[in-house]
């Protein structure tokens, strides 16, 4: 059975705290979702000239799979929907679909809208007709449907009936408060589906109890064929149903057709959308997270190497993810063997191979010095290549000078900022280059200077940026303590992590930055 997937990341997802989309970000998300193969993309709501101009710009966007939708509300109680300015803007939007929401809970009708049950039905009916007469396919979001059903199932059903009668192609049952249990969602959805054979019933769940995905699955199993959600579950309060969980559960586990073979792009899409939203990616996310198929325990690593199904519920490649093993001095040679096999796929190797033994000794030695490779797979790969005499050096640091200036309170605007500049000289082959960079602190300045120096030789670094920086003191020698610096980098599609250790925080930061750049230049950009 084919499911109609409507992504509301750019509308409901944008209501989440910390989520920001510029117009260019929105276009990036639209194309990422189109490439994934979702059925419909809710591009936002028109409320003013700026948002209307964005929708007008969408005329130039060529999509291969998805339909674009504008989101709007029903007219105000006591008004004529044909004269409602927001409805008119939605009707004029150059997109084929309009999603409109209205109240399905009598309590909301009387206490929030301050109107009568019949008037609410009128504005729903006539608002949908305005959009239908403009040539739009109309999806009706029945807001608070499950709360309304608990209060008055007869009225909630009347709201759905009016929407369909007015021309809505689908009526979406919304758990707007996110407070319904999955079994209740399934029971009510089943009742609506049974009462309306041949009609498209949808589901829209919020995650206030951590059950949005489970509730959505329950609704689909009860007959819903239209599914709404957001990438990574972003959204207001605790977020929405996570499409990155729902798509593989519904398609891989239950056999529904969501995006077909394009499901292999799910992991890349999840990372691209989080990057566009200016959010840190949750590596613990099911299916698409960097830790979703990562194994640490020695017995697990050995078991999954012999029989992946022993400790993995599915092949990670199905969703575009990869299997990963955490390597440390305690994880055993099986994990190290897997890493070296990835570097030397043609070699005949065993756990007792001299190269594996040497790599194991190297890791124990570096861990004793303070390195931790559990969450720094990129640095681990480079360290193994160095041990195996395989590491390629893409550049050489000839000199580095960092100057830190403490600003006055007036120049900093009352903020505790330290401006810094870095002057760096590198060599790439026989060519040398000297440049400088400025930043908020020495690490930012070094990062800016290094990228400025290298992009003239390696243009692919233009898309790379540092997304996280952490420092940990390794002993208790106060200012003489050794520190471990961990860095996370991304190119907007994948993420990799590196580590550096030194008694000098600048040196430790340089090690991690150098590894980050060399890793991407070696073409190993994967969630590591």
pLDDT in 10s for each residue of the chain, 528 residues: 999 999 999 999 999 998 989 999 999 999 999 999 999 999 999 998 889 999 999 999 999 999 999 999 999 999 999 999 999 999 999 999 999 999 999 999 999 999 999 999 999 999 999 999 999 999 999 999 999 999 999 999 999 999 999 999 999 999 999 999 999 999 999 999 999 999 999 999 999 999 999 999 999 999 999 999 999 999 999 999 999 999 999 999 999 999 999 999 999 999 999 989 988 889 899 999 988 988 877 677 667 777 788 888 999 999 999 887 777 666 667 778 888 888 898 888 888 889 989 998 998 899 889 998 888 989 999 999 999 999 999 999 999 999 887 665 555 454 556 688 999 999 999 999 999 998 888 888 999 999 899 998 999 899 898 888 999 888 755 555 689 999 999 887 788 999 999 989 899 999 999 999 999 998 864 445
- Asked if 400 and 488 sit in the same domain, the reply is yes
Instruction: Examine the fold and report which residue of 368, 388, 411 is the final residue of a domain before the chain moves on.
Output: 368
Structural domain contains residue 101 = yes
- Asked if 34 and 74 sit in the same domain, the reply is yes
The Cα–Cα gap between 515 and 107 comes to: 59
Structural domain contains residue 128 = yes
Tokens linked to 252: 């891989």
- Asked if 130 and 177 sit in the same domain, the reply is yes
- Asked if 37 and 183 sit in the same domain, the reply is yes
Instruction: Examine the fold and report which residue of 248, 276, 304 is the final residue of a domain before the chain moves on.
Output: 276
Structural domain contains residue 286 = no
- Asked if 52 and 96 sit in the same domain, the reply is yes
Instruction: Examine the fold and report which residue of 368, 385, 407 is the final residue of a domain before the chain moves on.
Output: 368
- pLDDT at position 468 is 87
Residues 6 or more apart whose CB falls under 8 angstroms from that of 198 comprise none
* Cβ-based neighbour number of residue 9 at 10 Å: 32
**CA 325, 328, 330, 335 torsion-angle sign:** positive
Strand partners for 141: 101, 172
Tokens linked to 527: 């969630």
The Cα–Cα gap between 435 and 424 comes to: 6
Beta carbons of 3 and 220 less than 8 angstroms apart: yes
479: nearest Cα among 500, 505, 510? 505
DSSP state of 461: G
- pLDDT at position 329 is 61
- pLDDT at position 425 is 94
The Cα–Cα gap between 138 and 70 comes to: 10
In 8-112 the beta strands, taken as DSSP E runs, fall at 40-45, 67-73, 97-103
- Asked if 272 and 136 sit in the same domain, the reply is yes
Structural domain contains residue 416 = yes
List the CATH number of the domain containing 412: 3.30.160.270
- Asked if 272 and 298 sit in the same domain, the reply is no
- Asked if 139 and 259 sit in the same domain, the reply is yes
The Cα–Cα gap between 362 and 368 comes to: 10
172: nearest Cα among 183, 156, 184, 187? 156
- Asked if 501 and 417 sit in the same domain, the reply is yes
Beta carbons of 133 and 90 less than 8 angstroms apart: no
Structural domain contains residue 338 = yes
Count of domains forming the chain = 3
CA 350, distance to chain mean position in Å, is 38
- Asked if 113 and 190 sit in the same domain, the reply is yes
CA 452, distance to chain mean position in Å, is 28
Structural domain contains residue 282 = no
* Cβ-based neighbour number of residue 262 at 10 Å: 17
The Cα–Cα gap between 18 and 485 comes to: 26
- Asked if 266 and 350 sit in the same domain, the reply is no
The Cα–Cα gap between 219 and 203 comes to: 7
Strand partners for 138: 98
Rounded to 5°, angle at Cα 143 from 18 and 27: 40
Query: At which residue do the structure tokens 């990670």 appear?
Result: 316
* Cβ-based neighbour number of residue 342 at 10 Å: 12
Structural domain contains residue 504 = yes
- pLDDT at position 527 is 43
- Asked if 170 and 305 sit in the same domain, the reply is no
Give residue 418's domain range: 396-521
Strands lying side by side in the sheet with 495-502: 465-473, 483-490, 495-502
Structural domain contains residue 283 = no
List the CATH number of the domain containing 189: 3.20.20.70
């Amino acid at each position: 059975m084919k499911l109609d997937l409507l992504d509301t990341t750019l509308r409901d997802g944008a209501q989440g705290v910390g989520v920001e989309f510029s117009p260019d970000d929105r276009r990036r998300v639209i194309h990422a979702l189109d490439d994934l193969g979702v059925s419909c993309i809710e591009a936002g709501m028109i409320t003013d000239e700026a948002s209307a101009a964005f929708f007008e710009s969408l005329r130039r966007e060529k999509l291969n799979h998805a339909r674009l939708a504008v989101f709007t509300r029903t007219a105000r109680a006591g008004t004529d929907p044909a004269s409602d300015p927001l409805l008119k803007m939605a009707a004029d939007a150059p997109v084929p679909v309009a999603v409109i929401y209205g109240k399905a809970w009598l309590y909301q009708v009387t206490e929030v809208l301050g109107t009568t049950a019949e008037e609410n039905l009128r504005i729903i009916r006539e608002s949908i007709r305005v959009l239908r007469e403009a040539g739009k396919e109309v999806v009706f979001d029945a807001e608070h449907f499950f709360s309304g059903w608990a209060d008055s199932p007869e009225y909630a059903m009347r709201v759905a009936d009016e929407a369909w009668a007015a021309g809505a192609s689908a009526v979406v049952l919304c758990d707007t408060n996110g407070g319904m249990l999955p079994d209740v969602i399934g029971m009510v959805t089943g009742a609506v589906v049974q009462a309306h054979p041949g009609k498209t019933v949808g589901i829209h769940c919020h995650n206030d109890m951590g059950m949005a995905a489970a509730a959505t699955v329950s609704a689909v199993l009860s007959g819903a064929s239209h599914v709404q959600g957001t990438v990574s579950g972003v959204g207001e309060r605790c977020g929405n149903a996570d499409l990155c969980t729902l798509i593989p559960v519904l398609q891989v586990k239950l056999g529904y057709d969501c995006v077909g073979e394009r499901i292999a792009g799910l992991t890349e899409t999840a990372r691209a959308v989080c990057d566009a939203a200016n959010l840190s990616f949750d590596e613990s996310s099911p299916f698409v997270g960097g830790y979703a198929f990562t194994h640490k325990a020695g017995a697990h690593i050995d078991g999954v190497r012999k029989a992946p199904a022993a400790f993995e519920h599915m092949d990670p490649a199905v969703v575009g993810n990869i299997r990963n093993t955490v390597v440390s001095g305690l994880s055993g040679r099986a994990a190290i063997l897997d890493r070296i096999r990835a570097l030397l796929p043609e070699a005949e190797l065993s756990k007792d191979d001299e190269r594996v033994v040497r790599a194991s000794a190297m890791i124990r030695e570096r861990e004793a010095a303070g390195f931790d490779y559990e969450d720094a797979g990129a640095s681990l790969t480079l360290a193994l290549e160095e041990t195996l005499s395989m590491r390629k050096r893409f550049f050489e640091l000839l000199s580095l000078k960092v100057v830190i200036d403490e600003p006055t309170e007036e120049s900093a605007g009352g903020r505790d900022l330290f401006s810094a500049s870095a002057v760096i000289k590198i060599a790439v082959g026989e060519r040398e280059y000297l440049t400088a960079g400025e930043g908020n602190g020495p690490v930012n300045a070094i990062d800016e200077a290094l990228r400025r120096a290298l992009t003239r030789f390696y243009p692919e670094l233009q898309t790379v940026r540092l997304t996280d920086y952490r420092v940990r003191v390794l002993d208790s020698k106060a200012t003489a303590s050794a520190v471990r610096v961990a860095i996370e980098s991304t190119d907007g599609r994948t993420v990799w992590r590196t580590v550096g250790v030194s008694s000098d925080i600048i040196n430790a930061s340089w090690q991690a930055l150098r590894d980050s750049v060399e890793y991407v230049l070696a073409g190993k950009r994967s969630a590591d």
